[in-house]
Structure formats: structure tokens, C-alpha cells
Amino acid sequence: MSECVRTSAWRRFSLVAAGLIAGCQIPAAKVQQDVSAMEPAAVIAAQERARTDLDCGAVKTAVLSREAPPSQTLYTLARYVYRIEAQGCGRRTVFSVACVVNSACSAMSESGTVERVK
């Protein structure tokens, strides 16, 4: 086989592979829809963790930010991360809550500290 034919075949293969990979990209609107749909579960996870960490039954939460991977395909793990502030009984902390579609959310303290609030 000549060098020209091999280069041409490789080029076609590369174009087809790139097209298939790009075709598996999840639309940004779907990602944003998933981020919005999972937010209530993230808030609940933060509230449950805050009740323990703050030693307080009455906590208030506020979503500070939402993050999704910049590009998702059908083959990536759809993991969304929310930063949620929790406050109650004169104390406050911020949690990083990771959620995966069709799974439970997990809240982790960002700094490991609980601040006193005046």
C-alpha cells in the first residue's frame, strides 16, 4: 500500500472517530436541567450534615455556587458540585456537596471548621 493511501485512510478514520465522539456530547441545556433538578437533594444533604456539624436542629442553607464539568459526554460521570452555606444556633460553615445522577448526594465540610456568628 502506498504512503498516500495509508495517510488518506488514517485521515478518514480520524474524522469518523472525531465525529462519533462529538456526537456523544451532552447538550448544555440538558446539563443545566440536571444541575437544577439535583439542587434540592444537595440542599437536603447539606442540611442533614449541618445538623450534626453545627449541633443544631434548625439550620438555614443557601446555595453559593453550582459546578458541572465543562464538557460531558455519554461516557463521563455526571457529577455536580454545589457549595452550600449552612447556618444555625450561632454557628456557620460551608459544605461542598457532590451529587451524581440517580444516586445520593454527599456533603463534606470545605474547611473542617465551624465559625461563630454574631
How do residues 21-74 score in pLDDT, each as one tens digit? Answer: 555 666 777 778 888 999 999 999 999 999 999 999 999 999 999 998 776 666
- Structural domain includes residue 61: yes
Residue 43 CB: number of other CB atoms within 10 A?
19
Position 5 scores a pLDDT of 58
Please, are residues 98 and 67 in contact by the beta-carbon 8 Å criterion? no
Pairwise CA distance, residues 79 & 101, whole Å:
7
- Structural domain includes residue 110: yes
Smallest Cα–Cα separation from 95: which of 65, 57, 55?
65
Please, are residues 17 and 41 in contact by the beta-carbon 8 Å criterion? no
Total domain count, the chain: 1
For 71, half-sphere exposure in the C-beta direction (CA atoms, 13 angstrom radius) is: 5
- Structural domain includes residue 106: yes
The pLDDT of 98-104, averaged and rounded, is 88
Position 13 scores a pLDDT of 65
- Structural domain includes residue 17: no
- Structural domain includes residue 107: yes
What phi-psi label fits residue 101: left (phi over 0), alpha (psi between -120 and 50 degrees) or beta? beta
Q: Which domain holds residue 94?
A: 27-116
Round the average pLDDT of the chain to a whole number and report it. Answer: 83
Position 64 scores a pLDDT of 97
- Structural domain includes residue 12: no
- Structural domain includes residue 21: no
- Structural domain includes residue 83: yes
